[in-house]
Amino acid sequence: MTKRNIANILRTAALILMAAFFAGCKGDVTIVEEAVFRSITPTESALVIKPGSSVTLNFTIADPDYKFDYNVNSPAFQVVLRSGGKTPEYYAITSIVKGAEKGSYAATITDLGIETDYNEDVQIGLKFEAGTSKEYCIFSKSFTLKTEGTEGLIVKTGLPIIYINTEKPIESKDEYVSGTFRVNGRGVAEGLEEVTCQIRGRGNTTWEWPKKPYLVKFDKQQHLFGMHKHKRYILLANFMDRTMMRNIIAMKVSSMTNLDWTPGCQSVELVLNGKHVGNYLLIEQVRVDKNRVPVTEMTPEDISGDALTGGYLLECDFHYDNKFQWLSPYGQSGQWIWGRNDVVPFGIKYPDEDAINNTQINYIKKYVNDAAAALYGKDFKDPEKGYAAWIDVDSFIDYWIVFEVMGNHELGNPGSVFMHKDRGGKLIAGPCWDFDWGILSYRTSPHAKTGLVNGNAIWYARLFQDPAFKSKVKARFEELLPQLETIPSYIDEMEKTLEQSAALNFAMWNPAEDASMNGGSIINGDENMTFHEAVARIRSIYQERLEVISRSL
């Protein structure tokens, strides 16, 4: 029997005795019953609260004359909330006022800004005999309190969560769909209140796989996860990567070099239109900007003199799908041949295809072709007549080291290989991008076990014929080696960070399905391993790469 029932029985007995006593007395007697607490009832059955804001919960007391302490600043404040048998961590009652009707009240419940999402059954109640051994609470029936935008879906892996809702399904790499974008930082990163955006698919092979990558374009520039403000970001699906960290490690290695810019990135959970679709890597898109690829932004009027010399962003990619593209002068016209390191498919990424003009196209095409001619000419070793007059040698060395350490064979493929040229400057290698296919794996590069992966890659085969270049590469690698040797510890750190996310992600997606896009053969070689087995494998291969490179240079 509850304390509440005992109290009601005692009260009823007392009233009966009083009535019997006064029945023997002469004259009429009026008995005034003292107001007692019977129950508390919330008016709403469900409330939705915006992060950092408040909502109102209306409730009534069964005996409208019952008095209780509802001043939140009072030491004797009686009103309490409970969820799952505990006092909630993420929200609290911040004020209570009387309603217009007798016995009605309005409680303000405020999100405490702890950066978490919730969808909880909550009870409101009153506390009695607080601070004594007899303290107890009487609660209402439950009502639901949930964070706005979660649609009842809560994901807790320790990673920030991105919520995207679109007006219609995302089915194209060309057509943007309007939507909203919100970040719950979950206490590990800065959040972002809901903003409008446009979103479409992206990628070549990766767009064909079940787990889709996306490009997000905000209506206004946004800061995300400490990165510089910008409108465009990429959500990489990393579908084939059982470790979920190949791109993350590559960007970490790149950041140790002197390359002009390395994309910032953050591993996140993605909830798309109310459905959790797994772990994604939010990463800065390769774009010309003062805080990204740092070359001078051009206008269509820049068609002569120094203004014509930059800036430009180029991509070497065997997909050969840029609007303005060409092959280096040593290949057969209109045909790129895999394995020919003197034939390079160049495409112009900046200026944008709708802003560039023929004068600018002809200039950068001629500059690249002249650089290639100098590289493959008889005086290629000459500092003034050879390649050094056309390319920034130090950047090409650092770029090669990142690819070589990661075992990325796409310098020789090539795919997603970037170069840029600033106004008045030479051709510069970088930035690094797209390190998920065959990275830190002997499946795509079996020769990596004993030697260099990119010793014969585009242009580099010729560069390594210059003893001075090879000597510089060796010296630079040895200079970077102490930093590169810290990566295994970084891998350990990321393994702990991604462990819970990996469990959810691979319950939804099977990376071994990548075999369907690779002639029936899995790509990285760890797709059928567990997450921890795959991480141990890339850690081991990375350490072996450092040893093999040291011996090979």
pLDDT band of 163, cuts 50, 70, 90: very high
pLDDT band of 153, cuts 50, 70, 90: confident
Indicate whether 30 pLDDT > 60.
no
- What percent of the chain has pLDDT above 70? 91
CA angle 294, 300, 306 (to 5 degrees): 60
pLDDT at 18: 53
| Residue 63 covered by a domain | yes
Indicate whether 23 pLDDT > 90.
no
| Residue 53 covered by a domain | yes
Contact 317, 416 (CB under 8 A): yes
Indicate whether 473 pLDDT > 50.
yes
Tell me the per-residue pLDDT of 428-440, one tens digit each, with 9 for 90 and over: 999 999 999 999 9
Let me know how many helices (H) and strands (E) the chain has, helices first: 8, 21
Is the preceding omega at residue 311 within 30 degrees of 0, hence cis? yes
Indicate whether 4 pLDDT > 60.
no
- What percent of the chain has pLDDT above 90? 78
pLDDT at 123: 97
pLDDT at 76: 94
Indicate whether 380 pLDDT > 50.
yes
Tell me the per-residue pLDDT of 499-532, one tens digit each, with 9 for 90 and over: 999 999 999 999 999 988 888 899 999 999 999 9
Q: Domain count of the chain?
A: 1
The length of the chain is 553
Mean pLDDT of 106-120: 88
pLDDT band of 34, cuts 50, 70, 90: confident
pLDDT at 317: 87
| Residue 251 covered by a domain | no
Mean pLDDT of 18-42: 67
pLDDT at 332: 38
pLDDT at 117: 81
pLDDT at 331: 41
d(Cα 118, Cα 266) in Å, to the nearest integer? Answer: 23
d(Cα 291, Cα 230) in Å, to the nearest integer? Answer: 9
pLDDT at 336: 46
Indicate whether 27 pLDDT > 70.
no
The mean predicted confidence, pLDDT, of the chain is 91
pLDDT at 320: 76
| Residue 322 covered by a domain | no
Mean pLDDT of 38-44: 96
Highest mean pLDDT among 116-120, 223-227, 334-338: 223-227
| Residue 442 covered by a domain | no
Tell me the per-residue pLDDT of 311-362, one tens digit each, with 9 for 90 and over: 999 999 887 778 898 887 654 334 445 556 667 889 999 999 999 999 999 9
Mean pLDDT of 10-19: 52
Closest CA to 362 of 319, 304, 416, 320: 304
d(Cα 296, Cα 290) in Å, to the nearest integer? Answer: 8
In this predicted model, which residue has the larger pLDDT, 320 or 248? 248
Gap between the terminal Cα atoms of the chain: 83
Non-local CB neighbours of 551 within 8 Å, separated by 6+ positions: none
| Residue 55 covered by a domain | yes
Mean pLDDT of 243-256: 98
pLDDT band of 187, cuts 50, 70, 90: confident
In this predicted model, which residue has the larger pLDDT, 16 or 449? 449
- Give long-range contacts, CB 8 A cutoff, 24+ apart: 527-535: 527/240, 527/242, 529/242, 531/242, 531/243, 531/244, 531/498, 531/499, 531/502, 531/503, 531/506, 532/495, 532/499, 534/242, 534/243, 535/243, 535/245, 535/491, 535/495
Indicate whether 288 pLDDT > 90.
yes
In this predicted model, which residue has the larger pLDDT, 117 or 289? 289
Tell me the per-residue pLDDT of 475-491, one tens digit each, with 9 for 90 and over: 999 999 999 999 999 99
Domain harbouring 129, CATH code: 2.60.40.10
User: Which residues constitute the domain of residue 115?
Assistant: 35-147
In this predicted model, which residue has the larger pLDDT, 494 or 112? 494
3-state SS class at 201: strand
Is the preceding omega at residue 210 within 30 degrees of 0, hence cis? no
pLDDT at 131: 85
Indicate whether 9 pLDDT > 70.
no
| Residue 108 covered by a domain | yes
Query: Across 290-344, where does the E strand assignment appear?
Result: 312-316, 325-327
pLDDT band of 116, cuts 50, 70, 90: confident
Mean pLDDT of 136-163: 87
| Residue 134 covered by a domain | yes
Contact 381, 422 (CB under 8 A): no
